[in-house]
Amino acid sequence: MIALVPQHAKAIKPPRALLVPFELGRPLGSPEDPSFQRQVLEATFGLLEKGEPGSYLEEFPHDAPERTTQAADNEGWACPVSFSAPTSGEDELGVAQELTSLQPWFDRAKQRRGRTMTGTSGLDIEQALALLTQVHDASEVSLSPPSNMSFGDFFKLAAEDLKMFYAEAAMEQPNPGSSQAIQDWFWNETQAGKLLFALTDRCADHDDAGVKTHARFTLVPAQRLANYRLGKD
């Protein structure tokens, strides 16, 4: 198998697995790059000649090449939204301010595409933020998951809705650049990114096992989390 999340491969124990350092959803690296994708496939099939089935894991040694347009190379990512420092008051984290700034871009993207990938939790974006903030503050949670969903998954999907809201709004702006640039912006420059980083610590001892698992493995990409922890140390 090709594994984007090393912890999953180690738990599932497939006959052989290639661990790749790419974005989730891109197991072969950058799109529209058949030469690089072929390297990944050759490395994957090459595992058939290595190791003992059931225990062999190998790391792919290369990062995916950046996929940029000429305009992006010349101008960088054009982001008209400039986030100010959060104001004091109810929105101490400043995420609600960012949602307000990004809402017109999100609405435009939804109208143009005729769909959105947010809403998997069943919550609107303000409710998703409220749920995450209440968990962060260890306050009483005012929202309940659907009857067929655990609270841990409810928490995870609310976080995914928040990430997707930012991504869809950012991609609608002029010359958004590469997906990597958008990810860098989200994790390095937004209060929403800071909230998710903080939740990985706040939820380490959460009463709900599902919340603890998602905070540890799925809330923040592994390399981003490692860099975050390194910076704290």
- pLDDT value, residue 22: 83
pLDDT for res 229: 85
8-state DSSP, 196: H
Our CA dihedral for 221, 223, 229, 230, rounded to 10 degrees, sits at -160
pLDDT at 92: 52
Distance CA 94, CA 157 (A): 21
Put residue 87 in one of left, alpha, beta given phi > 0 → left and psi -120 to 50 → alpha.
beta
Q: Which pLDDT score is estimated for 67? A: 58
Q: Which pair of tokens denotes residue 217?
A: 């493995």
Whole-model pTM: value is 0.72
What integer pLDDT is reported at residue 86 of this predicted model?
52
Q: What is the pLDDT, as a whole number, of residue 90?
A: 46
Question: Side chain identity at 12, as an amino acid letter?
Answer: I
CA distance 8 to 21: 14
Residues of the chain with pLDDT under 50: 69-75, 88-90
- φ/ψ of residue 111, rounded to 5: -65, -40
Q: What pLDDT does residue 154 have? A: 97
pLDDT value at position 124? 96
| Helices marked H in 137-178 | 151-171
Q: Are 21 and 63 in contact (CB under 8 A)?
A: yes
Q: Tell which residue, 204, 194, 184, has the closest CA to residue 162.
A: 194
**pLDDT on residue 48:** 92
